[in-house]
Amino acid sequence: MSAVAGRLRAVYAAETAVKRLNVGCGSHVAAGWVNCDVKREAGVDLVADLRRGLPLEQDSVDYAVSVHALPELSYPELVPALCELRRVLKPGGVLRLVLPDFDRTIDAYRNGDGAFFKVPADELRSAGGRFVAHALWFGYTRSLFTLDFTAELLTKAGFERVCRCAHRQTASPFGRIVELDNRPEESLYLEASKPRPAPARPPHGARGGAQGLEIVEVIPDPGAGVRAHFRVRKGEGCRVAVGGWALGTQTQAREIEVLADGTPAGRAGLVLERPDVAERFPDLAGAARAGFALELLARGRGESELDVFAVLADERREPLGRVVVRAERRGLLGALRRV
């Protein structure tokens, strides 16, 4: 097997190792996902009721997505269901919710936007009737959702870093998390993370020194707008080196940005020569010099999440994946050297 083929196989293995959960999928199953629904449908991998618990191990899922499924639960069932999703997520894992936006429904009713409501005209003619039937979806919907209400539910269920996202855009480093998005004209999109456990404190009187660093996990998951591969290796002491290549599929990628626990830690230009990448992607701009290298230094104790993004020429960011590192001393990573 050639060296190139070996590298490609390693990249494929890393990407397929990511566990993605599609909760309440119905007939909308997706390749590369664990498709879960309460009903047995073609393509459903896991038949289970979220309200009664999922037959998945704790801390076993990298990220989960639920599209227009939670409305079928009653109000008392919502927080317990979200707690169950938090249970199966890995620490630092992300939940993305796609829900009917009740604020938009109200605005459409007040503004007389009859085209918004997906109710046949021969079913109901009155504006109020179409508004109610659409909101309750003929009795299938048991809970309604607004942005602040959904954020409050996620917080009650123990999630953190709750943020609103746009259709097909993510604040997470998991590019494929947006694959299941649909119905942008009527939906809201929220993401939230499962907290990581606090690092253990050293014994009283013990001295904390930057004695080393461990690479705990590497999760490649590039977005649809980028072709990329990155590698991570441990350097001397508490140093970690991130290197690889990245190309934008529509807009040229200019540099790489790394966030440590949500805080900018370093950037590196895409300036290194990569003839192998140019050979594979001759039609993509910047392929000949698509490489990057970045070295970071841990300043503290405990675990940090490194989220790796490609910054495009129009300043949009495409996720490449996440790296989890554990340092001997607590704190974020800071940029040490870049190329």
What is the secondary structure of 28-40 as a DSSP string?
---TTSEEEESS-
Right CATH number for 3-101+145-193 from 3.40.50.920, 3.90.650.10, 2.40.50.140, 3.40.50.150? Answer: 3.40.50.150
Read off the pLDDT of residues 245-286 as tens digits, 9 standing for 90 and up. Answer: 999 999 999 999 999 888 888 889 999 999 999 999 999 999
- Rounded-to-10 torsion of CA 81, 84, 89, 92: 80
Q: What was the pLDDT predicted at 328?
A: 64
Strands 20-23 and 34-37: parallel
Please tell me the total number of residues recorded for the chain in this structure. Answer: 339
Contact between 67 and 39 (Cβ < 8 Å): no
- Own/partner contacts of 155-158, CB < 8 Å, gap of 24 or more, are 156/79, 156/82, 157/79, 157/82, 157/83, 157/85, 157/86, 158/83, 158/86, 158/194, 158/195
Structure tokens at 35: 């498709």
Provide the percentage of residues in the chain whose pLDDT is more than 90.
69
**pLDDT confidence of residue 210:** 41
Contact yes or no for 294/241 (Cβ under 8 A):
yes
How many Cβ atoms sit within 10 Å of the Cβ of residue 138? 10
Render pLDDT for 179-211 as a digit per residue (tens, 0 to 9). 999 999 999 999 999 998 876 555 554 444 445
Identify the CA nearest to 15 among candidates 62, 52, 77. Answer: 62
What is the pTM for the complete model shown?
Answer: 0.80
Cα(220)–Cα(320) distance, rounded to whole angstroms?
Answer: 6
Q: Which CATH architecture has domain 213-338?
A: Sandwich (2.60)
Collect all residues with Cβ–Cβ distance below 8 Å to 33 and sequence separation of at least 6.
20, 21, 22, 25, 179, 180
Question: What is the spatial distance between Cα 35 and Cα 22, in angstroms, rounded to a whole number?
Answer: 5
Rounded to 5 degrees, what are φ and ψ at 72? -80, -5
DSSP-derived secondary structure for 97-156: EEEE-HHHHHHHHHTT-GGG--S-TTT--SHHHHHHHHHHGGGT------HHHHHHHHHH
Q: In sequence order, which ranges of the chain are alpha helices (DSSP H)? A: 3-16, 75-88, 102-110, 127-136, 147-156, 275-280
What is the tens place of the pLDDT at every residue in 112-136? 999 999 898 888 999 999 999 999 9
pLDDT of res. 9: 38
How many other β-carbons are positioned within 10 Å of the β-carbon of residue 252?
Answer: 16
DSSP β-bridge partners for residue 304: 325
Low-confidence ranges of the chain (pLDDT < 70): 1-17, 199-212, 237, 299-301, 328-339
Identity of the residue numbered 143: S
For 130, phi and psi rounded to 5 degrees?
Answer: -70, -35
> Would you state the pLDDT for residue 8?
36
Sheet containing 20-23: order of strands:
46-47, 34-37, 20-23, 61-67, 89-100, 187-193, 160-165
Confidence (pLDDT) at 15:
41
Which residue ranges make up each domain of the chain? Answer: 3-101+145-193, 213-338
φ/ψ of 253, rounded to 5, equals: -85, 135
Cα 311 from chain centroid?
A: 17
| H/E run at residue 338 | strand 333-338
The rounded distance, in Å, linking the Cα atoms of 326 and 333 is 10
